[in-house]
């Protein structure tokens, strides 16, 4: 779907199956950061920050994923602003969960 370092241009929505967020580590190994299942929005941090993606997203099972490009979101904003508000709330919730997981990991590692 996307690779670590890619310039963000889209959000992804998992319609079925599951995808993993993978981060490459020093020395060539990798670590799974998260698994996303049906109904999940993926890629919102880079999409909204405009910064390069910090992880790769790969399908781990037969999956169907929908892509929403920035242009489509802007069109939706004009036609259905309430839907864009809902997507924004979903993105905020996801980012808050990611930050909580990161804080827990930092605390655990000392």
Question: Is the per-residue pLDDT at 101 higher than 90?
Answer: no
- Positive/negative CA dihedral, 5, 10, 14, 17: negative
What is the pLDDT, as a whole number, of residue 56?
95
What range defines the domain where residue 45 resides? Answer: 10-109
Is 91 among the domain residues?
yes
Compute the distance between CA of residue 20 and CA of residue 18 in angstroms, rounded to an integer. Answer: 7
Is 97 among the domain residues?
yes
As for how many domains the chain has, the answer is 1
Is 14 among the domain residues?
yes
Q: What is the pLDDT of residues 7-52, one digit of tens each?
A: 998 999 999 999 999 998 889 899 998 999 999 999 998 998 999 9
What is the pLDDT, as a whole number, of residue 63?
96
Edge-to-edge strand list for the sheet holding 56-59: 30-37, 18-24, 56-59
Is 105 among the domain residues?
yes
Is 3 among the domain residues?
no
Is 42 among the domain residues?
yes
Q: Decide: pTM greater than 0.85.
A: no
Q: What is the pLDDT of residues 42-80, one digit of tens each?
A: 999 899 899 999 999 999 989 999 999 999 999 999 999
């Amino acid at each position: 779907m996307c690779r670590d370092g890619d310039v963000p241009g889209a959000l992804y929505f998992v319609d079925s199956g599951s995808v993993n967020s993978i981060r490459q580590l020093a020395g060539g190994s990798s670590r799974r950061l998260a698994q996303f299942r049906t109904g999940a929005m993926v890629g919102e941090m880079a999409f909204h920050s405009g910064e390069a993606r910090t992880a790769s997203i790969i399908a781990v099972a037969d999956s169907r994923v929908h892509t929403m490009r920035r242009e489509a979101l802007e069109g939706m904003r004009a036609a259905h602003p309430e839907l864009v508000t809902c997507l924004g709330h979903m993105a905020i919730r996801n980012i808050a969960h990611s930050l909580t997981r990161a804080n827990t990991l930092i605390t655990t590692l000392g």
